[in-house]
Amino acid sequence: MDVQRKLAILADAAKYDASCASSGTEKRDSRDGKGLGSTAPGMGICHSYAPDGRCISLLKVLLTNACNYDCLYCVNRASSNVPRARFTVDEVVQLTLDFYRRNYIEGLFLSSGIIRSADYTMEQIVEVARRLREEHHFRGYIHLKTIPEADDALISKAGRYADRLSINIEVPEEQSLAALAPEKNVRAIRRTMGRLRLKLDEAKEARTAPSRAKPPRFAPAGQSTQMIVGADAATDQTILDTSANLYGSYNLKRVYYSAFSPIPDSSRALPLQAPPLIREHRLYQADWLMRFYGFDAGEIIDPSAGMLSLEIDPKLAWALRHRERFPLDVNRASREDLLRVPGFGRKAVERIIATRRHSAIRSMDLARLHIPRNKALPFIVLSDHRPTPHLLDSARLAERFRPKAQQLGFGF
Ligand code: SF4
C-alpha cells in the first residue's frame, strides 16, 4: 500500500479525536539556522477541519488503525470492518517533515491503535518523536497520545520529546467504560495521569529552582484528555463533575468534549443518533466557567435538570436562576461578582475595573467593552441605567433570551 493511501486511511481514522488544540507550550524557533520548525505560544495552530466541522489540526494521524481492543464507540476497534493500514516510523517522520517544509502543517498529532502490546505501541510512537527531535531537529509542535498501560520509562521518554501528552478518559463513569471498552481500565488511565502530573510538577520545580544545570524537559504544554459526549447516558452534571475532578487531581490543561459520532456497524449498546453538536458547545462554555470564571461544577447546572440548557448559555441560565443576586452595580461590584454577569467576558471585567478607577461606567461604554447590551442590561446598574423595576422578577425575562422559533421550510 502506498503512503498516500495509508495517509487517507490513517488521517480519516484519527479525526474523531478532538483534543488537537496546541496552546501553552514553550517558544521555539529555528531562526538561528539550526533545526526545523517553530512554535508560537498562545496561538492556536489548529487550522484544518473535518467535513463535519470538527477540528483536525496539524498532521493528525494514527500510526495504525489496527487495534487489539474492541471499544464499541471506536471505528478502529478490532471487530470493525474498515480498511486497515499501518505507517512505519520512518513514513510518519518523512510525512511530517515534507508537510512542514511545504507549509501544510505546524506540527504533529500522533495516536495509534494498540498493536502487540501497550509497550510496543508506545515505543513506536515515541520513536517517531525522538527521530523528529534528535535526528531532524524538528522544533514544531508534537502532541503524543499516551497508552495508559505503557512502561514508566517510555512515558518519561515521550515527555522529553512531546509538547503535550494526553490520555483519553473516554466516558465519565467507570461502569460505562467497562461496558463500552471492556479492555480499558479506568484505574490504569487515572494512575498514568497521576504519573504524568508528578513528572510535570518535577519538571516545573526544576525550571524554577536556582541551578545552572538545564532542567529535564517534560511536556511543557502539559497533559489533556477527552470525553465522548452522548455515547452513554451520563448527564452533563456527571460530565462536569468528572472534569472538575480531573482538573483538580491531575492538573490537566484541558478536557476536550467530543460529541459521539455514530459509526458503521455499531453495537446496539450505542445510540443511533449523534447528540446535538450544541451540547458539546455548551459543555465547553461550562468548562470555561469552571476554569476562568470562578464557578463550581455543582452550581452551573440546574440540579433538577442535570443537563445544560441547549437554548441559552450556561452563565445566562445561572443568572436567571439566581436573580436575587442582581441587579449588580458595575461601578462597585467585586471582580468575582462581575465575572458572573451574563455577557461579561474576562477582558471586559478587567477593563471595567481599570476604567472605573477614574470614571464611572455608563451604558454607552458597553459597546467599547464589547458587552452585548441586550444580554447584560437587565442584570446591571450603571451610572445612567437601572433596569425597570420588576423586570428581573418577570417570568418573561427568560423568554427574551430564547432563540426565536423558526418557520420550517416546505422542502421545495
Ligand atoms: S484502544 Fe479502543 S479507542 Fe483506542 S483505537 Fe483501539 S478500539 Fe479505538
What backbone phi and psi angles, to 5 degrees, belong to 380? -130, 155
Say if residues 44 and 21 touch (Cβ distance below 8 Å).
yes
Instruction: Determine, yes or no, domain membership for 217.
Output: yes
pLDDT, position 410 = 56
**Residue 228 and residue 368 in one domain:** no
Residue type present at position 94: Q
Using the 8-state DSSP alphabet, how is residue 405 labeled?
Answer: P
**Residue 248 and residue 320 in one domain:** no
From the CA of 234, how far away is ligand 1's center (Å)?
A: 20
pLDDT, position 403 = 78
Could you tell me the three cell numbers for 2?
502506498
pLDDT, position 47 = 46
Say if residues 352 and 369 touch (Cβ distance below 8 Å).
yes
Question: Given ligand 1 and candidates 19, 65, 74, 116, which is best to mutate, with the most ligand atoms within 8 Å of its CB?
Answer: 74
Say if residues 56 and 49 touch (Cβ distance below 8 Å).
yes
Instruction: Determine, yes or no, domain membership for 61.
Output: yes
Which residue's alpha carbon is at the smallest distance from atom 5 of ligand 1? 113
**Counting atoms of ligand 1 from 1, which one is nearest the CA of 181?**
2
**Residue 318 and residue 271 in one domain:** no
Instruction: Determine, yes or no, domain membership for 409.
Output: no
Instruction: Determine, yes or no, domain membership for 332.
Output: yes
Distances (CA, A) of 70 to 87, 111, 352, 357: 21, 16, 53, 60
**Residue 100 and residue 30 in one domain:** yes
Q: How far is CA 63 from the centre of its chain?
A: 22
Instruction: Determine, yes or no, domain membership for 294.
Output: no
Q: Which CATH number covers residue 92?
A: 3.20.20.70
What backbone phi and psi angles, to 5 degrees, belong to 111? -135, 180
Provide residues with CB under 6 Å of ligand 1.
67, 69, 71, 74, 76-77, 113-114, 181
Q: H/E element holding 353? A: helix 346-355
Q: pLDDT of the chain along its 412 residues, tens only?
A: 888 889 888 888 887 776 655 445 565 555 565 665 555 433 323 444 333 444 436 888 999 999 999 999 898 999 988 999 999 999 999 999 998 888 888 889 999 999 999 999 999 999 999 999 999 999 888 999 999 999 999 999 999 999 999 999 999 999 999 999 999 999 999 999 999 999 999 988 888 877 767 777 899 989 999 999 999 999 999 999 999 999 999 999 999 999 988 887 778 888 888 889 999 999 999 999 999 999 999 999 999 989 999 999 999 999 999 999 999 999 999 999 999 999 999 999 999 999 999 999 999 999 999 999 999 999 999 999 999 878 777 778 888 888 776 665 554 5
Distances (CA, A) of 322 to 25, 244, 253: 38, 22, 30
pTM: 0.85
**Residue 68 and residue 190 in one domain:** yes
Instruction: Determine, yes or no, domain membership for 304.
Output: no
Distances (CA, A) of 123 to 77, 111, 285, 309, 380: 21, 12, 37, 44, 57
What backbone phi and psi angles, to 5 degrees, belong to 284? -60, -40
From the CA of 176, how far away is ligand 1's center (Å)?
A: 15
pLDDT, position 29 = 58
Instruction: Determine, yes or no, domain membership for 288.
Output: no
Instruction: For helices 186-208 and 236-250, give the axis angle rounded to 10 degrees.
Output: 40
Domain span at residue 359? 314-401
**Residue 11 and residue 122 in one domain:** yes
Instruction: Determine, yes or no, domain membership for 360.
Output: yes
**Residue 222 and residue 340 in one domain:** no
**Residue 262 and residue 335 in one domain:** no
**Residue 270 and residue 318 in one domain:** no
Looking at the DSSP assignment, which residues form a beta bridge with residue 227?
A: 170, 257
pLDDT, position 40 = 44
Nearest to 93 by CA among 147, 130, 45: 130
pLDDT, position 48 = 41
Instruction: For helices 314-321 and 277-292, give the axis angle rounded to 10 degrees.
Output: 70
Say if residues 329 and 361 touch (Cβ distance below 8 Å).
no
Could you tell me the three cell numbers for 101?
517544509
Task: Considering only CA atoms, give the Rg of the chain.
Answer: 24
**Residue 260 and residue 326 in one domain:** no
- Beta-strand pair 328-329/223-229: unpaired
Count up the domains in the chain and report the number: 2
Residue type present at position 311: E
From the CA of 17, how far away is ligand 1's center (Å)?
A: 11
Q: H/E element holding 95? A: helix 89-101
**Residue 193 and residue 338 in one domain:** no
**Residue 323 and residue 240 in one domain:** no
Last residue of a domain, one of 277, 303, 334: 277
Last residue of a domain, one of 277, 300, 334: 277
Last residue of a domain, one of 225, 259, 277: 277
